[in-house]
Amino acid sequence: MKKIIKIILIVFIMFSLMTIGIYALNKNPIGKVIDKYTYTKAICDETNYCEDYEIVCERANLKALNPTGYAIQNSADWEDPRVSDKQLCS
């Protein structure tokens, strides 16, 4: 009987130490919140001449707007299907 109690106590202590270690080393043991992300978007002028840009966001703030070097002249009714909302980082 004493042997079973010792084993249960050792398992409990090991589990407790592992849990404390996870929280001490990493505040979020399940996964990290995505703070920084990028995507591309065509930004067009009034004649629908569009240049492609890499949009770099950190949380909801625009950090960089980098041209990719690609451009195209689209028809008058074309809209970029990749991002529909007007704000770049939301």
- Give the strands of the sheet with 36-44, arranged side by side: 36-44, 49-58, 61-73
Higher-confidence position of 87 and 31? 87
- Give per-residue pLDDT as tens, 11-40: 899 988 888 877 777 665 566 667 888 988
Is it the case that residue 83 has pLDDT exceeding 60? Answer: no
Quickly state the pLDDT bin for 84 (edges 50, 70, 90).
Answer: low
Residue 3 near residue 9 (C-beta atoms within 8 A):
no
Mean pLDDT of the chain: 82
